[in-house]
Structure 1
Amino acid sequence: MASIFPWQNLAYKQLQQSYEQQRLPHGVLLTAQSGSGVELFARNWGQFLLCQNQTSSEHCGRCKSCLLFEAGTHPDFHWIERHEDKKQISIDQIRALTSQLHETSSLSGWRIAVIYQTEKLNANGYNALLKTLEEPGSNTQLLLLAEQRSAIPATIISRCQQYNLQATDNQQVLNWLKQQSTDHNDESISFALQVSHGAPLDALQWLQNNEQDSFSQFLELLSDVYYGRQTLLSLSDCKLVEPYQLLKWWEFTVSMMIKSRHIRFTSENKSLQRAAELAENADERLLFRLRDNILFQLKELREGIALNMPMQLDDLATQWSKIRQA
């Protein structure tokens, strides 16, 4: 099996079966949350198709095609994503891709295109993509990567074979994390996956970077502001991590506070216990409002919208300071 993750094996085998039966679709929609490794899956599958000496299950890694692929210079593999300074994938990018896909294959094989974060296309981009899906040319495959299937127009979905690469088997993911992080105990690994909202690669990064220490400091800061031991400025000016990660931790903490008001935590994890303690005297209505505001800020940042983060964090800190009931 190719170098992919355990939760992706079934989809990979199904694609291989379609390939062996010469029924490979021109369009493939791969959905999975960020941090699930869908990019690696797409690259591995692309290299397999382009390989000139492939085995029944993986690329050889030695042929001219594989060497070009691994050097990032394969002329028949195209990776499309939003430019860093743009909010969306432009129609010009799709038009250029369409033109490239209609050219003769440089190595007389497949032509592969990956569109990363397909949700970033606008209406015109989707229309251009639709035409490409309808008339892709022979030995051409488009891999559309997306976090949410619901964000993709039905006209696009109907022309793709769909695979859900979400890591839904929690025990499988925990076992994989244990193999990758032998110096962490089961409780630490379980909490890493929880704070990462089930995203295995995010959880692995959490463990490898020992982010628990920084998170504990952040939680202590939240607690100090909550009880009036620290000023709002200490929270809005927090430099423990970059703003996006800070917001993710904050949202997780608030969500755990809400959850603890309805179920009793059995975990002995100190962070979860601290969240439950903070929730005891919190206004649940204000907790929900704060979480909604944090989620909105995260959505804006993911979409590439420039925010005045000091002002946004100051506003959230003010909301946080008002949550505790007398």
Structure 2
Amino acid sequence: MAEHYPWQASLWQQLARRSRHAHAYLLHGPAGIGKRALADRLMARLLCQRPEGNEACGQCKGCQLLAAGTHPDHFLLEPEEADKPIKVDQVRELVEFVVQTAQLGGRKVLLLEPAEAMNLNAANALLKSLEEPSGDTVMLLVSHQPSRLLPTIRSRCMQQACPRPDRAASLDWLARALPQASPDERETLLALAGGSPLTALRLQEQGVQAQRAKVVEDVKKLLKQQATPSQLAEGWNAVPLLLLFDWFCDWAQALLRYRLTGDETQLGLADMRKVVQYLADKSRPERILAIQDWLLLQRQKILGKANLNRVLLLEALLVQWASLPGPG
């Protein structure tokens, strides 16, 4: 059974009480706020033969088949491998499912996540089914980055923004999920997760705080000329590339913000405040802007699954970072 998150209560009431459903929903919002759980919950409600109020009963044949992963009128489409695109052949299988008659005599429901993982051919293959849905079919598309979807995909779905909980609600949920962590640790995890509590939990499980501590210490060594970019790049193999670029993008933004405003409350997390302040004082604004533009461009390539040489990319990043302070 999908987990129920308290910050989704109002949205769930709106979705579950509808007497008629759209043929396609685009559930969108930041990663780590429970969109997949919401989609799973809605799918169960739509396939249930004897729903109890706003929830699936959990006892009927439809609920039992769904729980066993053998419901004939349910289709799940995800990348075949983590961080890989959804291919056109996978979408063609989905299209074949859509045109079939529901075997249990009710709805057919398909769930696609993340929708932005579809390559161009796959997205185009989905369009016909979105334009002309067959029978009582409901498509649930989950997206963390809806701007990366084709406009024609977005326009054919009922777009539903999913709420990110406020800081207090997130910390309250993390206190229950991570009772062994200190309040400061939970605060730090939530900050590293950009305010998304499920992402904070995942980061804790991945040991990201230890990875972050190593990266911060290595950046300090770099600036003190105690280590070379090539040495450090080789030592960061365990840290996800996107996470590294998220951190450096945050630091570059804090650099520029402090350089322009002098507001010490905007220096970011405590582990890098002194470094950010030092670099801001020693770096020219145009240099900060240049590295910020470069970081954002490379981050976009990473999101687009570009075939990048990880070590060379990190070496280039560290060479530029080390050259920030100084004249000219």
Q: Structure 2-normalised TM-score?
A: 0.86
Task: Tell me the residue number matched to 2:91.
Answer: 94
Q: CA deviation at 1:63?
A: 3.3
Task: Tell me the residue number matched to 1:105.
Answer: 102
The 8 Å contact of residues 30 and 145 in structure 1, kept in 2 or not, is answered as: yes
Pick closer, same or farther for the CA change 1:249–1:86 going to 2, 3 Å: closer
Q: CA deviation at 1:132?
A: 1.2
Q: CA deviation at 1:85?
A: 9.0
Task: Tell me the residue number matched to 1:134.
Answer: 131
Residue 142 of structure 1 aligns to a residue in which SS? Answer: strand
The 8 Å contact of residues 2 and 58 in structure 1, kept in 2 or not, is answered as: no
Q: Distance in 1 between matches of 2:321 and 2:206?
A: 28
Do structure 1's residue 254 and structure 2's residue 257 form an aligned pair? no
Do structure 1's residue 47 and structure 2's residue 48 form an aligned pair? no
Task: Tell me the residue number matched to 2:4.
Answer: 4
Do structure 1's residue 58 and structure 2's residue 59 form an aligned pair? no
Pick closer, same or farther for the CA change 1:168–1:196 going to 2, 3 Å: same
Q: Distance in 2 between matches of 1:164 and 1:146?
A: 10
Q: Distance in 1 between matches of 2:153 and 2:72?
A: 26
The 8 Å contact of residues 165 and 196 in structure 2, kept in 1 or not, is answered as: no
Q: Structure 2: 5+ residue runs without aligned partners?
A: none
Residue 265 of structure 1 aligns to a residue in which SS? Answer: helix
Q: Distance in 2 between matches of 1:82 and 1:36?
A: 20
The 8 Å contact of residues 187 and 269 in structure 1, kept in 2 or not, is answered as: no
Q: Distance in 1 between matches of 2:55 and 2:273?
A: 46
Residue 56 of structure 1 aligns to a residue in which SS? Answer: coil
The 8 Å contact of residues 133 and 159 in structure 1, kept in 2 or not, is answered as: yes
Q: Distance in 2 between matches of 1:147 and 1:108?
A: 33
Q: Distance in 1 between matches of 2:93 and 2:85?
A: 15
Pick closer, same or farther for the CA change 1:268–1:196 going to 2, 3 Å: closer
Residue 67 of structure 1 aligns to a residue in which SS? Answer: helix
Do structure 1's residue 303 and structure 2's residue 304 form an aligned pair? yes
Give 4+ residue runs of structure 1 displaced > 6 Å after superposition: none
Residue 264 of structure 2 aligns to a residue in which SS? Answer: coil
Q: Distance in 1 between matches of 2:2 and 2:80?
A: 29
Matched AA of 1:245: L
Residue 30 of structure 1 aligns to a residue in which SS? Answer: strand
The correspondence of residues 7-46 of structure 1 with structure 2, limited to 5 A, is 7-18=7-18, 21=19, 23-46=20-43
Q: Structure 1-normalised TM-score?
A: 0.86
Structure 1, residues 16-72: CA drift from partner, whole Å, max 9, x if none?
A: 111xx2x21111111112222222221221122112332112223333323332333
RMSD: 2.8
Task: Tell me the residue number matched to 1:276.
Answer: 276
Q: CA deviation at 1:169?
A: 2.6
Q: Percent identity?
A: 28
Task: Tell me the residue number matched to 2:64.
Answer: 67
Structure 1, residues 209-250: CA drift from partner, whole Å, max 9, x if none?
A: 553233122111101101212222222112352433333333
Q: Distance in 2 between matches of 1:309 and 1:267?
A: 28
Task: Tell me the residue number matched to 1:116.
Answer: 113
The 8 Å contact of residues 232 and 314 in structure 1, kept in 2 or not, is answered as: yes
Pick closer, same or farther for the CA change 1:192–1:131 going to 2, 3 Å: same
Q: Distance in 2 between matches of 1:223 and 1:39?
A: 39
The 8 Å contact of residues 27 and 144 in structure 1, kept in 2 or not, is answered as: yes
Residue 113 of structure 1 aligns to a residue in which SS? Answer: strand
Q: Distance in 2 between matches of 1:155 and 1:123?
A: 12
Q: CA deviation at 1:5?
A: 2.1
The 8 Å contact of residues 254 and 267 in structure 2, kept in 1 or not, is answered as: no
Q: CA deviation at 1:123?
A: 5.0
Q: Distance in 2 between matches of 1:26 and 1:300?
A: 33
The 8 Å contact of residues 7 and 165 in structure 1, kept in 2 or not, is answered as: no
Q: CA deviation at 1:309?
A: 0.7
The 8 Å contact of residues 251 and 276 in structure 2, kept in 1 or not, is answered as: no
The 8 Å contact of residues 265 and 273 in structure 1, kept in 2 or not, is answered as: no
Matched AA of 1:317: L
Q: Distance in 2 between matches of 1:181 and 1:267?
A: 27
Pick closer, same or farther for the CA change 1:170–1:86 going to 2, 3 Å: closer
